[in-house]
Structure 1
């Protein structure tokens, strides 16, 4: 049985707010896959190639950014009991700005010129700003589980730093300002985005979602209390050392952070193995693949592997796969919950609401995971066998397309039942 104790389900925002983020995000992963299939090995020659920069931002902002923002707008009122101010306005503006920003920035970085880069970067930055201010207010007011809140607060702070560094790099790219050794600033931007924003948000989601959906033991108290602030301080210290040229200090601190994430991955896999539900569904397969990819990326960085391999493991292995797996649970749960709420309000107890397990095809979810795993393997292999790049892009696009179709199916089921769950007509006759 799913554990929902401690959740403020009555404060959940309307389902269309997170759903629009979740349904738009796979389009950007499809676009990244098609871009790879079109450019092939050229895209993977270097992380500085225009196509590589475009694909990275399609995934980082268009896919990951949308899913993470949508999930936070949903989670904060439910997990922390703190509603996001003007959530409908915030959700609509954030969704629109991030969608335009990701598309414009990727298109500009792919070689379409500085105007699109400026427009895309400005829209994305404004979208994150519109998002992070009200979310920050909600996080200050929140009084939920301390471990989850700590990870979410540090992730929001890391997002703000990531966006600021991104704007700095756009200014450098446009020639407005100059910085010494700008590649160090690029690496710092990536570290704050991947280790800070994405990494800590994954930790915050895992601490809440794994015990709730899979009835696993809770994470150890020291990890819930100290891991997130330690990562935030560590990334800040390592970034400062790196920018100032103290490479050995920066590498030592980043290595320590990498070991910390390896520890988190092993603890996560251990908790999954101790779950009360023995069935290995597609969501758990994604958790396994993501945690192993995280360990692989940390080890690759430790042994000075090519940066492209690290990027593939983090962006595709963790950044594409894990959100897909979480959406397999989150959207069906939201659909079931909101339909239950509508049923109570309408009094239509004659209508049988579909249960969570029937809202999304397990067989097609396994197909999606298989395609994702194939894309990840081909992408990693293409660094040594370049001819694999185009098949990798096709597999990535197909896996994301299957994800999109599965989510559309859940959304259509919600709309069909929501239309039926209208308030029952009054039985009272006319007054005489």
Structure 2
């Protein structure tokens, strides 16, 4: 197929799949369940802020769904990431290894702690942090000292944590990352903001490391309008709840705070929306996976390579993605589809190319650079049932 025939066919395919001639966004929320009833119930109860039954229910339901011991709700995914880093002991001056191919919040949360991101490459088949690249950077730049800390050879900076991100909902190579982090004495935090409903070898993403984080922004698989969640063990979860609730000591009427805390609580109003959305999650993921299958079939034999879930994984296909032949091909696809009212988007600019992170340490980033020049996201909302 010629480039133009692929674009024309893709536009027709997307419009048929979403059953509209109007503008088609990249990912829009779907409210088709108990959202209005639960939110109205919250309003009528007057418990619309950070205390209320729906917050407790949302946390319990999310823990049950993901298989973690404790889930703690936060006001957004970035706050969850910041708190996760604090919980594993990240301090000013520490180094935190992450991937350059991610949304900026991953790095911003590291910066909030006064720490510095270190960028290592990703794997092409997962789009996520490469265990081999992580191990290679550590072997070349760090050692484990007598106290069991991972420190850099040149200046003794502590490498405190590693934060892989499950890109577009596709699980990273978690087994490999767990092994490397354990061997080097580094805490593993999973940025699972995009991967609610994704499973790695039968286990939900976000529960393999010390802490995992989720996001419920308006463009995620389910939304609370704004919101996030920490996934962790019971002990860490108890501390997370305390810190995110301004470190307030429980008391009938006194205001006693025993350390610097954070007002990162998720309002009950938002949690009510989340409870209704979570009830529909399995159906949402099934329809998104069906859409991905349709994309893959349609694009077979074209010049666009559809990004599929890694072996042994079950992805939510949060954002469907294709790999173009080169940068020129990418730019042509973006221009043509957006001109037709079908929103497509390039993958993020690499974090090491942003001004505030340009001076950070990094290893070779050949794969990340290759993907940055070629990856385009396609419309990925939960499609209407029965539309083709």
Q: Name the TM tier (shorter chain).
A: under 0.3
Higher helix share: 1
**Normalised by the size of structure 2, how large is the TM-score?**
0.26
